Amino acid sequence: MNIESQRFGTIEINDDELLSFPAGVIGFPTEQKFALVPHHGSGYIAWLQSVSTPGLAFPVVSAHAFGDRYPDVPVLGAAVEAGLQGPDDALAVMVVLCALANQPATVNLLAPIVVNAATRTGAQVILEGTRFSTREYFALPDAVRQEPATGDRAATAAAE
């Protein structure tokens, strides 16, 4: 399948690689199909590109970039409540990155995007009891920044 994107041009992707969000994502309830597009130069940052809206692409960061610091509460309960059945290790967690011009980058650690890697079905969930907010300052740790981009770590995280 070919997806038209304002940011990336035409993206070629197999249908079985698409991510499905039956309830959409917060603020975009009708956007239900996305492609995960790796961000060049980073194994932890990718883009969720809408299949139906060429101008809609969310930058996301794999939870792996935060190491053991995130998430600070279990994700499984929120995932099950959102209809994402399956074992905890089948869930990939990503957070939306906001990087406005001349402003520090922030990430939404309160409401991560969780994807069941086996079914490729996802939902944006709210983590009850977390100490994090929707606007946490973000910078990749030095070890991550210095690590060469080998393959597609963000997509691998979504497929794990």
Query: How much is the pLDDT for 71?
Result: 96
- All domains in the chain, ordered by first residue: 2-139 (2.30.290.10)
Query: How much is the pLDDT for 142?
Result: 58
Stated pTM of the model: 0.84
How far is 117 from 133, CA to CA, in rounded Å?
25
Compute mean pLDDT per 10 residues along the chain, 160 residues long, and list them: 96 96 96 95 91 97 93 94 85 93 94 95 97 93 49 43
Query: How much is the pLDDT for 29?
Result: 96
Query: How much is the pLDDT for 42?
Result: 81
DSSP per-residue codes, the chain: -EEEETTTEEEE--GGG-EE-TT-BTTBTT--EEEEEEPTT-SSEEEEEESS-TT-EEEEEEGGGGGGGS-SS-SHHHHHHTT--S-GGGEEEEEEEE--TTS--EE--SS-EEEETTTTEEEE---TT-S--S-EE----HHHHHS---S-HHHHHHH-
Query: How much is the pLDDT for 70?
Result: 96
> Model confidence over 129-153: pLDDT tens digits?
999 999 999 987 654 544 444 444 4
Query: How much is the pLDDT for 51?
Result: 97
Query: How much is the pLDDT for 18?
Result: 98
Residue 30 near residue 24 (C-beta atoms within 8 A): yes
Query: How much is the pLDDT for 89?
Result: 80
Query: How much is the pLDDT for 141?
Result: 64
Query: How much is the pLDDT for 128?
Result: 96
